[in-house]
Chains A and B, each alone.
Chain A
Amino acid sequence: MATPNNTNTFHDDLHATYITSLGDKLDSPTSYEGAVTEHLRMSGVYWSLAALSLLRSPNEVDTSMGLTKPRAHDERSSIVDWVFTCWDPKSGGFGGNCSGECAHDAHLLYTLSALQILAMADCLEDERLDKEAVVKFVCGLQNEDGSFSGDKWGEIDTRFTYCAFSCLALLGKMPLPNWDNTYSTNNSHASDNTIDLHKAVKYIISCRNSFDGGFGAVPGAESHAGQVFCCIGALSISHSLHLLNDNPKSDADVLSWWLAERQCDSGGLNGRPEKQADVCYSWWILSVLSILGRVNWIDTSKLGQFILNCQDEDDGGIADRPYDMPDVYHTFFGLSGLSLIGHLDEIGDKNGRTYRHIDPVFALPSDVVRRVGLNAQVARPSGDELESRLSMHSVLQV
């Protein structure tokens, strides 16, 4: 295999142009890419906004993307107006797009993306957002065993637990475990606007694998770095990270080590042993190592170099691997990776820009997380025992 021409140049302007021109390209009726990805446009818009937010100020993002107001000379409505056309009042959730005034079917994945967009636009208080209905939609998807379905058709996956927790946090409705350990396990969601947190957390723990400390999509499934993010993110939002140490055979550090072993010779990270490195794992893995305070267990400078090697030097954007075609998903995760290892700060020092930071739990710019008032549990890097490193603590017991 040819060796990538190692570049140290970060193509700030090219990336910004790549992101801001993407919507026009995809909306063209002759765009094949636009056609085959129309169903997940809500997530596409979220990735674009979050990616650009790491490079530009909230104001610049708003004007260049047409976030809260339509862009000059643009016939399309603002992104926020479009988000509300994708809301399905019958179910209370958001769809991935709308066709001719008709919202696509609601799904937890797109409901989270929609709320994340509204959070970045500072529109969570918009009167069109029926918070009660969205909360009901999310809570209604919890199953008897604590797991969450993605929609009414019943697919179960720990990805959906993360989506549910994050949605509830954004809506200010995430229940937290009681300090006095009186949280009721009989808290039924059927007629309620809340979830059974105890069962939900217990379900996450049941998806854990003892020998690598990782998590799968369902109990019995193989550990996968993407799924690890969903489970650790959910435990962090629910202030339950200390449960990671309940299994004596597999403490939080075994998980961190398994994640550190995802780093390949190329510097990039893979999602499971003996798989190829891919830029998206820069996010799935670094976010977890950030939450667990173990980013220094990998070689961050080699990883930063790998991400830079995946840039499209002609047209901007970041790909999964060097020489591949970029897309907005890998652009966002590549930039997030550079942010979490502090490389964006270093680049900013050199080119005289101040870059915003990504929050490892909520996958939103950290200033947005602060503005909305979201909080979660994370571990400090120093010290030994996980319990003593947790900056927030709860006594929920499974």
Chain B
Amino acid sequence: MHGQKRSEYKSRLLNPEAASKLATKAQQWNALSHELLSQRKRLITPLNADAKPPSPKMLLTLTEKMLTVNPDPSHLWNIRREMLLHLLEKESSQFDVQPELSLTAHCLQRNPKAYSSWFHRKWSIAYMLSRGKTENQSNVLQSELDLCAQFLMLDERNFHCWNYRRFVVALLGSMAAKESAEINEIVTNNTAAAANLPSESYSGDWSSWMDLLSEDSTSKEILMGAQIVSDSTPKNLTSSLSKEKLNELIVSEWNFTSSKIQDNFSNGSAFHYRSKLISIVLEARLASDDETLDNAARLLRKQEKILSMAREEWEEILLNAIFTEPDDQTPWWYHRFIVAWAKPSLDLRDELGDSYNELVEDYESLLYEMADSLRELLEVEKENGLEGDAAERDESKGVKCKWAYLGLHLVLFSLFKLQRVDATELLCEAQECLDALIAIDPCRSERYKMLAAELSA
């Protein structure tokens, strides 16, 4: 059992008082479980017409009682949704999202990693948007971002919460894009349908409103997909008015990742989100450009912006992170991303002519700066001594200096692949990095030998 100490668990079972408490809880649970399922059966298929059918409200209360104890069983949430829909149909009332938000918040505090609690929250929000009250929707969504921020304070790596955050951002994005007129149209279209499921526009899919920012196909790579199923065709969203709102939203998400990374350089989840956002932020920054530029000028402008953003990431975030905590692998993976992202694509060569060479020179000088800093880092680390106190180190940290060597190897190999200078020295130094890695990290020597073979090929 995750994180349960064996000795504590067993002594609990041996303690008669604790054991009998658990036994009572088990019996209560089993009784409730049986009660709930048989009531539900009676509601769906009444035994005889005269008998009074169970009350859906009572079943709702029962699910709440059970889920607060154990939020994992998805069939309990299913019954809850069935009852909510049943009541909405019978009483033609409006869907009130608040009780669902409170219940799931409570359950998530108990177990922040329960798939079914997060899913019920998504379902409720999506249902609210497609069927519920139309006012205050964006306020509700804004407060969902606050809830995410709170949960990420408790556990900054909770991927359920990060996924939920992207889901909410996608919804806010589509709302910004739609404006109220279109929202009303969709709500009207859907109220007639008996479907349980919300419309495509509320599925947490970033793709439709991303088109607003750019028609460029490269942005397709960074789309966030639907997180909940949908049953109607997507609407084409066109509204120049919302561009500003979208930009605001994107910038605020970008700043959120910055602050999470400043709190802790080891936040791989925030770095990951940043790697997805960076291309969207790029589009947003380019959006204010003069639209009279021709295609080649726009491509050049974009690649220049990519290089300047990559430099910003290197100088303002990565350098600080790797000098502070050189043995934490988290920022190093993002470094790999930045090195690959900044590289001017060969496709640009024909379009841009001489300007292409300037771009490559710019990229090359960024790589040389990286190499210099990494050499410096290795010197500093070697002076501090390679032998850290092993007992004080976290088990997930690798051998000292390993990631600096890997980073330097990556930068040197990337320079080599540009084929602009005599490669002998680059290759020689890259090989030295691999030799050092084979010596200090023999576990993964097979990988390093393969990289060495790439150098000599």
Contact = CB atoms under 8 A, between A and B. Distances in A.
B225 A206 contact: yes
Interface in B170-184: none
Interface stretch (A54-62, A292-300, A351-359): A292-300
Contacts of B115: 155, 157
A34 interface: yes
A39 B75 contact: yes
Nearest to B443: A299
Contacts of A99: 33-34, 37
A211 B33 CA distance: 46
A224 B162 CA distance: 13
Interface in B326-349: 328-330, 333-334, 336-337, 340
Task: Give the interface SS of chain B, mostly helix, strand, loop or mixed.
Answer: helix
A323 B268 contact: no
Given A210-B337, A275-B396, A298-B444, A29 B9 contact: no
Contact of B162 (A35, A222, A249, A321): A222
Given A156-B228, A217-B159, A218-B226, A30 B336 contact: no
Contact of B1 (A40, A149, A327): A327
Contact of A320 (B3, B228, B272, B276): B3
B46 interface: no
A260 interface: yes
A147 interface: yes
B305 interface: no
Interface in A225-261: 249, 253, 256-258, 260-261
Contacts of A147: 225-226
Contact of A274 (B81, B159, B266): B266
Contact of B272 (A30, A223, A278, A323): A223
Interface residues of B, number: 80
A398 interface: no
B259 to A, nearest CB: 18
B393 interface: yes
A385 to B, nearest CB: 12
Contact of A325 (B1, B33, B34, B444): B1
Contacts, number: 219
A277 B76 CA distance: 32
Contacts of A217: 159, 163
A173 to B, nearest CB: 22
B224 A35 contact: no
A104 interface: yes
Interface stretch (B23-31, B99-107, B145-153, B359-367): B23-31
Contacts of B27: 29-30
A186 to B, nearest CB: 16
A264 interface: yes
Interface in A287-305: 294, 296-299, 302
A325 B5 contact: yes
A37 to B, nearest CB: 8
A265 B398 contact: yes
B196 A153 contact: yes
Contact of B166 (A32, A220, A274): A220
Question: Which has the most chain B C-beta neighbours within 10 Å: A276, A278, A302, A312?
Answer: A276
B163 A218 contact: yes
Given A156-B229, A223-B272, A324-B3, A102 B22 contact: no
A302 B37 contact: no
Query: Which of A203, A266, A299 counts the most chain B CB atoms within 10 A?
Result: A299
A219 interface: yes
Nearest to B163: A221
B333 to A, nearest CB: 6
A29 B221 CA distance: 52
A268 to B, nearest CB: 8
A257 B450 CA distance: 11
A20 interface: no
Contacts of A38: 30, 33, 73
A36 B159 contact: no
B159, B162, B221: most-surrounded residue (chain A CB, <10 A): B159
Interface string B415-453: 000000000000000000000000000111011001000
A338 interface: no
A218 B227 contact: yes
B268 A30 contact: no
30 contacts: A36-B29, A36-B72, A105-B74, A107-B74, A145-B226, A149-B229, A154-B197, A155-B119, A156-B228, A203-B225, A210-B221, A210-B275, A211-B337, A216-B163, A219-B223, A220-B163, A221-B159, A221-B166, A222-B162, A261-B444, A263-B444, A265-B395, A272-B268, A273-B330, A296-B446, A319-B1, A320-B1, A321-B3, A324-B1, A325-B9
What are the 10 tightest A-B residue pairs by CB atom distance, in nearest-first order? A219-B225, A220-B224, A154-B229, A39-B73, A211-B337, A30-B23, A299-B443, A32-B22, A35-B26, A35-B29
